[in-house]
Amino acid sequence: MTIQDLKIGETAEIVSLDSEQLPKPMLTELLELGFFPGAEITLKDKSLLLGKMICNLSGTTIALRIHDGNAIKIKLRQT
């Protein structure tokens, strides 16, 4: 499951980043932003028209390209 599979309002735990799908500069940027295994992420909004998603990562709001979200593997949090 990836961030792309989240529905708006769902929260998940990051399991891993697929380094083969991301260029090295993007992987480095995501790690600097806090996309580490174990981090909690919530999908706030998604725009297919713009190709963007808005996420809350450990209290910080971050915009990502939907395509890049395909490289972020997650585990859905049970509520």
And the tokens for 26?
């993007």
Contact partners, residue 69, CB within 8 Å, separation at least 6: 2, 3, 4, 53
pTM of the model: 0.86
pLDDT tens digits, one per residue of 12-57: 999 999 989 888 999 999 999 999 999 999 999 999 999 999 999 9
Q: Is 34 left (phi over 0), alpha (psi -120 to 50) or beta?
A: left
Per-residue confidence band for 9, with pLDDT thresholds at 50, 70 and 90: very high
Q: What CATH code is assigned to 3-76? A: 2.30.30.90
Domain-wise residue ranges, the chain: 3-76
Task: Count other Cβ atoms within 10 Å, centred on residue 73.
Answer: 15
